[in-house]
Structure 1
Amino acid sequence: MFGNLFKKKDPIEKFWQYFIDHEKELYNFREEDIERLFRDLYILINKVNNQLVFSMPKPLIDEKREFTISGSGIGNNFPDVIRLVEAAPEMERFTIIAFNQRNDDEHGTASNDIEITRDDVFFNYTYDQEYSAFYLTLYIKGFDEKNDNYYAVVFDLLEIVIGEYVLGTEITEIEFKKYDHEDDLLPINNLPKILEDIKKGSY
Protein backbone atom coordinates (compact mmCIF):
# COMPACT_ATOMS: atom_id res chain seq x y z
CA MET A 1 0.00 0.00 0.00
CA PHE A 2 2.64 2.53 1.06
CA GLY A 3 4.82 1.54 -1.91
CA ASN A 4 2.09 2.64 -4.31
CA LEU A 5 1.45 5.80 -2.28
CA PHE A 6 4.99 7.08 -2.75
CA LYS A 7 5.62 5.71 -6.25
CA LYS A 8 7.16 8.30 -8.58
CA LYS A 9 5.23 9.21 -11.68
CA ASP A 10 6.67 7.62 -14.83
CA PRO A 11 8.73 10.16 -16.86
CA ILE A 12 6.79 9.28 -20.00
CA GLU A 13 3.53 10.01 -18.22
CA LYS A 14 4.94 13.32 -16.92
CA PHE A 15 6.05 14.30 -20.41
CA TRP A 16 2.62 13.80 -21.95
CA GLN A 17 0.81 15.34 -18.99
CA TYR A 18 2.82 18.53 -19.51
CA PHE A 19 2.08 18.37 -23.25
CA ILE A 20 -1.67 18.04 -22.61
CA ASP A 21 -1.61 20.86 -20.05
CA HIS A 22 0.07 23.18 -22.59
CA GLU A 23 -1.41 21.82 -25.80
CA LYS A 24 -3.14 25.06 -26.77
CA GLU A 25 0.02 27.15 -26.23
CA LEU A 26 2.15 24.69 -28.22
CA TYR A 27 -0.37 24.64 -31.04
CA ASN A 28 -0.54 28.44 -31.26
CA PHE A 29 3.27 28.61 -31.43
CA ARG A 30 3.71 32.17 -30.16
CA GLU A 31 7.35 33.21 -30.12
CA GLU A 32 7.08 34.64 -26.60
CA ASP A 33 5.92 31.26 -25.26
CA ILE A 34 7.87 28.75 -27.26
CA GLU A 35 11.28 29.13 -25.60
CA ARG A 36 9.80 28.39 -22.17
CA LEU A 37 7.63 25.54 -23.44
CA PHE A 38 10.46 23.90 -25.38
CA ARG A 39 12.84 24.27 -22.44
CA ASP A 40 10.39 22.49 -20.15
CA LEU A 41 9.74 19.77 -22.73
CA TYR A 42 13.47 19.16 -23.18
CA ILE A 43 13.90 18.80 -19.41
CA LEU A 44 11.07 16.26 -19.34
CA ILE A 45 12.18 14.30 -22.41
CA ASN A 46 15.71 14.09 -21.00
CA LYS A 47 14.28 12.22 -18.03
CA VAL A 48 13.05 9.55 -20.47
CA ASN A 49 16.35 9.46 -22.37
CA ASN A 50 18.83 12.33 -22.56
CA GLN A 51 19.58 11.62 -26.24
CA LEU A 52 16.02 12.01 -27.45
CA VAL A 53 15.11 15.22 -29.26
CA PHE A 54 11.93 16.64 -30.77
CA SER A 55 10.94 19.02 -33.53
CA MET A 56 7.77 20.91 -34.33
CA PRO A 57 7.54 22.72 -37.68
CA LYS A 58 5.49 25.88 -37.86
CA PRO A 59 3.34 25.00 -40.90
CA LEU A 60 0.09 23.17 -40.14
CA ILE A 61 -0.99 20.08 -42.07
CA ASP A 62 -4.76 19.61 -42.30
CA GLU A 63 -5.14 22.07 -39.41
CA LYS A 64 -2.93 19.88 -37.20
CA ARG A 65 0.62 20.47 -36.01
CA GLU A 66 3.20 17.71 -36.32
CA PHE A 67 5.41 16.88 -33.35
CA THR A 68 8.29 14.51 -34.14
CA ILE A 69 10.35 12.61 -31.57
CA SER A 70 13.79 11.44 -32.72
CA GLY A 71 16.42 9.12 -31.31
CA SER A 72 19.21 11.33 -32.71
CA GLY A 73 19.90 8.60 -35.26
CA ILE A 74 21.18 6.23 -32.55
CA GLY A 75 19.67 2.76 -32.76
CA ASN A 76 19.92 2.12 -29.01
CA ASN A 77 17.51 5.03 -28.48
CA PHE A 78 14.85 3.71 -30.84
CA PRO A 79 12.95 1.62 -28.25
CA ASP A 80 12.53 4.71 -26.07
CA VAL A 81 11.24 6.71 -29.04
CA ILE A 82 8.69 4.00 -29.76
CA ARG A 83 7.63 3.73 -26.10
CA LEU A 84 7.19 7.50 -25.84
CA VAL A 85 5.19 7.83 -29.06
CA GLU A 86 3.02 4.79 -28.31
CA ALA A 87 2.12 6.36 -24.95
CA ALA A 88 1.01 9.63 -26.56
CA PRO A 89 -2.62 10.54 -25.84
CA GLU A 90 -5.08 11.34 -28.62
CA MET A 91 -5.00 15.08 -29.32
CA GLU A 92 -7.17 17.00 -31.75
CA ARG A 93 -4.52 19.58 -32.54
CA PHE A 94 -1.42 17.34 -32.90
CA THR A 95 -0.03 14.45 -34.91
CA ILE A 96 2.75 12.69 -32.96
CA ILE A 97 5.41 11.11 -35.17
CA ALA A 98 8.13 8.62 -34.29
CA PHE A 99 11.50 9.36 -35.95
CA ASN A 100 12.54 11.91 -38.55
CA GLN A 101 10.74 10.95 -41.73
CA ARG A 102 11.93 10.65 -45.28
CA ASN A 103 11.21 13.89 -47.13
CA ASP A 104 11.08 13.65 -50.91
CA ASP A 105 10.53 17.43 -51.19
CA GLU A 106 13.81 18.28 -49.44
CA HIS A 107 16.76 18.55 -51.83
CA GLY A 108 19.67 18.91 -49.43
CA THR A 109 20.98 19.96 -46.05
CA ALA A 110 23.65 22.24 -44.62
CA SER A 111 25.55 22.80 -41.38
CA ASN A 112 28.85 24.37 -40.30
CA ASP A 113 29.40 25.93 -43.75
CA ILE A 114 29.00 22.54 -45.46
CA GLU A 115 26.12 22.08 -47.89
CA ILE A 116 25.31 18.76 -49.51
CA THR A 117 22.49 18.09 -51.94
CA ARG A 118 21.10 14.88 -53.38
CA ASP A 119 23.05 15.65 -56.57
CA ASP A 120 26.32 15.49 -54.61
CA VAL A 121 25.98 11.91 -53.35
CA PHE A 122 26.28 8.58 -55.18
CA PHE A 123 26.54 5.05 -53.90
CA ASN A 124 27.08 1.37 -54.46
CA TYR A 125 26.29 -1.46 -52.10
CA THR A 126 26.48 -5.14 -51.30
CA TYR A 127 23.73 -7.15 -49.67
CA ASP A 128 24.41 -10.33 -47.70
CA GLN A 129 21.14 -12.23 -47.95
CA GLU A 130 22.14 -14.84 -45.38
CA TYR A 131 22.63 -12.25 -42.64
CA SER A 132 20.26 -9.59 -44.04
CA ALA A 133 23.23 -7.21 -44.00
CA PHE A 134 23.30 -4.12 -46.20
CA TYR A 135 26.72 -2.53 -46.73
CA LEU A 136 26.57 0.95 -48.22
CA THR A 137 29.44 2.92 -49.76
CA LEU A 138 28.79 6.61 -50.33
CA TYR A 139 30.71 8.77 -52.79
CA ILE A 140 30.36 12.46 -51.93
CA LYS A 141 31.42 15.46 -53.97
CA GLY A 142 33.92 17.59 -52.03
CA PHE A 143 34.08 15.12 -49.13
CA ASP A 144 36.95 15.62 -46.67
CA GLU A 145 37.42 12.60 -44.41
CA LYS A 146 39.37 14.70 -41.89
CA ASN A 147 36.46 17.10 -41.39
CA ASP A 148 33.98 15.49 -38.97
CA ASN A 149 31.29 17.99 -39.96
CA TYR A 150 30.91 16.21 -43.30
CA TYR A 151 29.76 13.00 -41.64
CA ALA A 152 27.01 14.79 -39.71
CA VAL A 153 25.69 16.56 -42.82
CA VAL A 154 25.73 13.34 -44.86
CA PHE A 155 23.81 11.52 -42.12
CA ASP A 156 21.27 14.37 -42.14
CA LEU A 157 20.90 13.94 -45.90
CA LEU A 158 20.42 10.17 -45.51
CA GLU A 159 17.61 10.83 -43.03
CA ILE A 160 15.96 13.03 -45.63
CA VAL A 161 16.38 10.38 -48.34
CA ILE A 162 15.35 7.21 -46.43
CA GLY A 163 14.21 8.33 -42.97
CA GLU A 164 15.77 7.93 -39.53
CA TYR A 165 14.27 4.52 -38.70
CA VAL A 166 15.32 2.87 -41.97
CA LEU A 167 18.79 4.39 -41.65
CA GLY A 168 19.16 3.04 -38.13
CA THR A 169 17.72 -0.42 -38.71
CA GLU A 170 18.31 -1.46 -42.34
CA ILE A 171 21.83 -0.16 -43.04
CA THR A 172 24.48 -2.42 -41.51
CA GLU A 173 27.57 -0.38 -42.32
CA ILE A 174 28.41 2.82 -44.19
CA GLU A 175 31.72 3.69 -45.84
CA PHE A 176 32.38 7.29 -46.88
CA LYS A 177 34.52 8.20 -49.90
CA LYS A 178 35.20 11.28 -51.97
CA TYR A 179 33.48 11.23 -55.34
CA ASP A 180 35.98 11.11 -58.20
CA HIS A 181 33.85 10.38 -61.29
CA GLU A 182 33.73 6.63 -60.67
CA ASP A 183 31.71 4.49 -63.05
CA ASP A 184 28.75 2.28 -62.13
CA LEU A 185 27.59 4.43 -59.21
CA LEU A 186 23.95 5.04 -58.43
CA PRO A 187 22.39 8.41 -57.52
CA ILE A 188 21.35 8.59 -53.88
CA ASN A 189 17.69 8.97 -54.92
CA ASN A 190 17.75 5.30 -55.98
CA LEU A 191 18.48 4.11 -52.45
CA PRO A 192 14.88 4.04 -51.10
CA LYS A 193 13.64 1.75 -53.88
CA ILE A 194 16.57 -0.65 -53.50
CA LEU A 195 15.91 -0.97 -49.76
CA GLU A 196 12.17 -1.40 -50.38
CA ASP A 197 12.84 -4.13 -52.97
CA ILE A 198 15.11 -5.98 -50.54
CA LYS A 199 12.48 -5.76 -47.83
CA LYS A 200 9.83 -7.14 -50.18
CA GLY A 201 12.14 -9.99 -51.16
CA SER A 202 12.30 -8.87 -54.77
CA TYR A 203 16.05 -8.25 -54.58
Structure 2
Amino acid sequence: MFKKLFGKNFTAAEFWIWFEKNSQDYYQLKEEKLNSLFYKLDKQLSKINEDIAFEFSADLIDGKREFIISADGILSAFTDVIDLVEKAPKLDGFKIIAFRPKSDVDDISTIEYEDISLGPDDVFFTYRKNGDTLDIVLYLKGYDSDFEEWENAAFILLDTIIGEYDVATKIGSIDMLPYKGSPKLKPILELPSLIDREVSGISF
Protein backbone atom coordinates (compact mmCIF):
# COMPACT_ATOMS: atom_id res chain seq x y z
CA MET A 1 0.00 0.00 0.00
CA PHE A 2 2.72 2.51 0.98
CA LYS A 3 4.67 1.66 -2.14
CA LYS A 4 1.59 2.32 -4.29
CA LEU A 5 0.81 5.57 -2.47
CA PHE A 6 4.27 7.08 -2.22
CA GLY A 7 6.46 5.23 -4.70
CA LYS A 8 6.75 6.58 -8.24
CA ASN A 9 5.64 4.47 -11.18
CA PHE A 10 8.29 2.61 -13.13
CA THR A 11 8.37 4.23 -16.56
CA ALA A 12 9.11 2.96 -20.06
CA ALA A 13 12.19 5.21 -20.12
CA GLU A 14 13.52 3.57 -16.96
CA PHE A 15 12.93 0.12 -18.41
CA TRP A 16 14.91 0.93 -21.54
CA ILE A 17 17.77 2.39 -19.50
CA TRP A 18 17.95 -0.92 -17.63
CA PHE A 19 17.67 -3.00 -20.81
CA GLU A 20 20.34 -1.01 -22.65
CA LYS A 21 22.77 -1.58 -19.77
CA ASN A 22 22.14 -5.34 -20.02
CA SER A 23 21.59 -5.53 -23.78
CA GLN A 24 24.71 -7.53 -24.62
CA ASP A 25 23.57 -10.40 -22.40
CA TYR A 26 20.23 -10.49 -24.23
CA TYR A 27 21.91 -10.19 -27.61
CA GLN A 28 24.13 -13.18 -26.89
CA LEU A 29 21.48 -15.24 -25.02
CA LYS A 30 23.89 -17.84 -23.74
CA GLU A 31 22.02 -21.01 -22.90
CA GLU A 32 23.48 -21.37 -19.42
CA LYS A 33 22.19 -17.89 -18.52
CA LEU A 34 18.71 -18.07 -20.05
CA ASN A 35 16.74 -18.76 -16.87
CA SER A 36 18.43 -15.93 -14.99
CA LEU A 37 18.15 -13.47 -17.87
CA PHE A 38 14.49 -14.20 -18.50
CA TYR A 39 13.68 -13.96 -14.78
CA LYS A 40 15.32 -10.53 -14.57
CA LEU A 41 13.60 -9.28 -17.72
CA ASP A 42 10.21 -10.54 -16.59
CA LYS A 43 10.71 -8.78 -13.25
CA GLN A 44 11.46 -5.47 -14.98
CA LEU A 45 8.55 -5.71 -17.41
CA SER A 46 6.20 -6.61 -14.55
CA LYS A 47 6.92 -3.19 -13.05
CA ILE A 48 5.22 -1.73 -16.13
CA ASN A 49 2.40 -4.28 -16.37
CA GLU A 50 2.25 -7.78 -14.90
CA ASP A 51 0.60 -9.14 -18.06
CA ILE A 52 3.38 -8.13 -20.45
CA ALA A 53 5.23 -11.08 -21.97
CA PHE A 54 8.24 -11.30 -24.27
CA GLU A 55 9.95 -13.47 -26.85
CA PHE A 56 13.33 -13.42 -28.56
CA SER A 57 14.21 -14.89 -31.92
CA ALA A 58 16.33 -18.00 -31.50
CA ASP A 59 18.64 -16.89 -34.31
CA LEU A 60 19.98 -13.53 -35.38
CA ILE A 61 18.16 -12.08 -38.38
CA ASP A 62 20.33 -9.76 -40.47
CA GLY A 63 22.60 -9.45 -37.45
CA LYS A 64 19.77 -8.47 -35.13
CA ARG A 65 17.96 -10.28 -32.34
CA GLU A 66 14.18 -9.85 -32.58
CA PHE A 67 12.75 -8.76 -29.23
CA ILE A 68 8.97 -9.17 -29.24
CA ILE A 69 7.03 -7.40 -26.49
CA SER A 70 3.59 -8.95 -26.11
CA ALA A 71 0.39 -8.30 -24.20
CA ASP A 72 -0.19 -12.07 -24.23
CA GLY A 73 -3.57 -11.35 -25.81
CA ILE A 74 -4.77 -9.34 -22.78
CA LEU A 75 -6.41 -6.10 -23.94
CA SER A 76 -5.71 -4.18 -20.74
CA ALA A 77 -1.97 -4.50 -21.40
CA PHE A 78 -2.08 -3.27 -25.02
CA THR A 79 -1.52 0.43 -24.30
CA ASP A 80 1.53 -0.36 -22.14
CA VAL A 81 3.03 -2.55 -24.89
CA ILE A 82 2.49 0.21 -27.46
CA ASP A 83 4.01 2.80 -25.14
CA LEU A 84 7.06 0.62 -24.43
CA VAL A 85 7.80 -0.03 -28.09
CA GLU A 86 7.21 3.58 -29.15
CA LYS A 87 9.69 4.77 -26.52
CA ALA A 88 12.34 2.14 -27.31
CA PRO A 89 15.75 3.59 -28.16
CA LYS A 90 17.64 2.55 -31.27
CA LEU A 91 19.61 -0.53 -30.31
CA ASP A 92 22.01 -1.73 -33.00
CA GLY A 93 21.66 -5.41 -32.16
CA PHE A 94 17.89 -5.56 -31.77
CA LYS A 95 14.66 -5.25 -33.70
CA ILE A 96 11.95 -4.29 -31.21
CA ILE A 97 8.50 -5.58 -32.21
CA ALA A 98 5.13 -4.79 -30.65
CA PHE A 99 2.91 -7.88 -30.33
CA ARG A 100 3.45 -11.34 -31.76
CA PRO A 101 3.42 -10.90 -35.54
CA LYS A 102 1.67 -13.23 -37.93
CA SER A 103 3.86 -15.66 -39.84
CA ASP A 104 4.12 -16.11 -43.58
CA VAL A 105 1.80 -18.85 -44.76
CA ASP A 106 4.74 -21.08 -45.73
CA ASP A 107 6.23 -20.72 -42.23
CA ILE A 108 3.12 -21.72 -40.27
CA SER A 109 3.73 -25.07 -38.66
CA THR A 110 1.95 -27.37 -36.22
CA ILE A 111 1.62 -26.06 -32.67
CA GLU A 112 2.82 -28.51 -30.04
CA TYR A 113 1.20 -27.63 -26.72
CA GLU A 114 1.21 -30.06 -23.80
CA ASP A 115 -0.04 -33.29 -25.42
CA ILE A 116 -1.83 -31.49 -28.27
CA SER A 117 -0.68 -31.10 -31.86
CA LEU A 118 -2.67 -28.52 -33.81
CA GLY A 119 -1.85 -27.37 -37.32
CA PRO A 120 -3.66 -25.16 -39.84
CA ASP A 121 -5.05 -28.25 -41.59
CA ASP A 122 -6.81 -29.19 -38.35
CA VAL A 123 -8.85 -26.00 -37.97
CA PHE A 124 -11.86 -24.63 -39.86
CA PHE A 125 -14.20 -21.75 -39.08
CA THR A 126 -17.46 -19.94 -39.63
CA TYR A 127 -17.98 -16.26 -38.89
CA ARG A 128 -20.47 -13.49 -38.31
CA LYS A 129 -19.71 -9.82 -38.75
CA ASN A 130 -20.31 -7.84 -35.56
CA GLY A 131 -19.67 -4.16 -36.16
CA ASP A 132 -15.91 -3.58 -36.44
CA THR A 133 -15.06 -7.18 -35.50
CA LEU A 134 -15.82 -10.75 -36.51
CA ASP A 135 -17.33 -13.34 -34.19
CA ILE A 136 -15.94 -16.73 -35.15
CA VAL A 137 -16.52 -20.37 -34.37
CA LEU A 138 -13.48 -22.64 -34.67
CA TYR A 139 -13.94 -26.30 -35.55
CA LEU A 140 -10.95 -28.31 -34.32
CA LYS A 141 -10.06 -31.86 -35.26
CA GLY A 142 -9.84 -33.89 -32.04
CA TYR A 143 -11.18 -31.07 -29.88
CA ASP A 144 -12.22 -31.99 -26.34
CA SER A 145 -13.81 -29.21 -24.30
CA ASP A 146 -12.83 -30.94 -21.05
CA PHE A 147 -9.19 -29.95 -21.62
CA GLU A 148 -8.40 -26.23 -21.57
CA GLU A 149 -5.10 -26.98 -23.31
CA TRP A 150 -7.08 -27.10 -26.56
CA GLU A 151 -8.08 -23.46 -26.17
CA ASN A 152 -4.50 -22.43 -25.40
CA ALA A 153 -3.19 -24.27 -28.46
CA ALA A 154 -5.89 -22.71 -30.65
CA PHE A 155 -5.08 -19.19 -29.48
CA ILE A 156 -1.36 -19.72 -30.11
CA LEU A 157 -2.18 -20.91 -33.63
CA LEU A 158 -4.44 -17.89 -34.19
CA ASP A 159 -1.63 -15.54 -33.13
CA THR A 160 0.63 -17.29 -35.63
CA ILE A 161 -1.88 -17.06 -38.49
CA ILE A 162 -3.38 -13.62 -37.82
CA GLY A 163 -1.01 -11.87 -35.43
CA GLU A 164 -1.65 -11.02 -31.80
CA TYR A 165 -2.87 -7.47 -32.49
CA ASP A 166 -5.49 -8.53 -35.03
CA VAL A 167 -6.71 -11.41 -32.86
CA ALA A 168 -7.39 -8.98 -30.02
CA THR A 169 -8.74 -6.04 -32.04
CA LYS A 170 -10.49 -7.61 -35.04
CA ILE A 171 -11.90 -10.81 -33.56
CA GLY A 172 -14.83 -10.55 -31.16
CA SER A 173 -16.17 -13.74 -29.63
CA ILE A 174 -14.38 -17.04 -30.26
CA ASP A 175 -16.22 -20.32 -29.74
CA MET A 176 -14.78 -23.79 -30.28
CA LEU A 177 -16.43 -27.02 -31.38
CA PRO A 178 -15.24 -30.45 -32.57
CA TYR A 179 -14.74 -30.70 -36.33
CA LYS A 180 -17.17 -33.12 -37.94
CA GLY A 181 -16.79 -32.10 -41.56
CA SER A 182 -19.00 -29.73 -43.56
CA PRO A 183 -18.65 -28.04 -46.95
CA LYS A 184 -19.79 -24.77 -45.33
CA LEU A 185 -16.69 -24.52 -43.16
CA LYS A 186 -13.74 -22.40 -44.27
CA PRO A 187 -10.08 -23.40 -43.81
CA ILE A 188 -8.44 -21.30 -41.10
CA LEU A 189 -5.81 -19.97 -43.52
CA GLU A 190 -8.59 -18.00 -45.26
CA LEU A 191 -9.21 -15.98 -42.10
CA PRO A 192 -6.46 -13.30 -42.50
CA SER A 193 -7.68 -12.12 -45.92
CA LEU A 194 -11.28 -12.24 -44.75
CA ILE A 195 -10.43 -10.02 -41.77
CA ASP A 196 -8.64 -7.53 -44.01
CA ARG A 197 -11.71 -7.29 -46.29
CA GLU A 198 -14.50 -7.27 -43.72
CA VAL A 199 -13.51 -5.36 -40.58
CA SER A 200 -11.41 -2.43 -39.40
CA GLY A 201 -11.16 -3.57 -35.77
CA ILE A 202 -11.26 -1.63 -32.52
CA SER A 203 -8.47 0.85 -31.78
CA PHE A 204 -6.39 1.87 -28.78
TM-score calculated relative to the size of structure 1: 0.89
Q: Distance in 2 between matches of 1:65 and 1:181?
A: 42
- Kindly provide the amino acid, as one letter, of the partner of residue 53 in structure 2: V
Please say if residues 15 and 41 of structure 1, whose CA atoms lie closer than 8 Å, have aligned partners that are also in contact: no
Residue 199 of structure 1 and its aligned partner are, at CA, apart by 4.1
- Kindly provide the amino acid, as one letter, of the partner of residue 115 in structure 1: S
Identity of matched residues, %: 36
Structure 1: gaps spanning 5 or more residues: 1-5
- The Cα RMSD (Å) is 1.7
- Kindly provide the amino acid, as one letter, of the partner of residue 110 in structure 1: E
Please say if residues 66 and 96 of structure 1, whose CA atoms lie closer than 8 Å, have aligned partners that are also in contact: yes
Q: Distance in 2 between matches of 1:126 and 1:59?
A: 39
- Kindly provide the amino acid, as one letter, of the partner of residue 57 in structure 2: P
Deviation string 1:137-189 (CA, Å, 9 cap, x unpaired) is: 11110001111110000000000110000000000111111000122111000
Q: Distance in 2 between matches of 1:149 and 1:35?
A: 24
Aligned residue in 2 for 1:149: 149
Aligned residue in 2 for 1:35: 35
Residue 82 of structure 1 and its aligned partner are, at CA, apart by 0.5
Alignment of 1:40-59 (within 5 A): 40-59=40-59
The 1:37–1:177 alpha-carbon spacing in structure 2 relative to 1, beyond 3 Å, is same
Q: Secondary structure at the match of 2:61?
A: coil
Q: Secondary structure at the match of 1:68?
A: strand
Q: Secondary structure at the match of 2:144?
A: coil
Structure 2: gaps spanning 5 or more residues: 1-5
Aligned residue in 2 for 1:107: 109
Please say if residues 143 and 178 of structure 1, whose CA atoms lie closer than 8 Å, have aligned partners that are also in contact: yes
Aligned residue in 1 for 2:118: 116
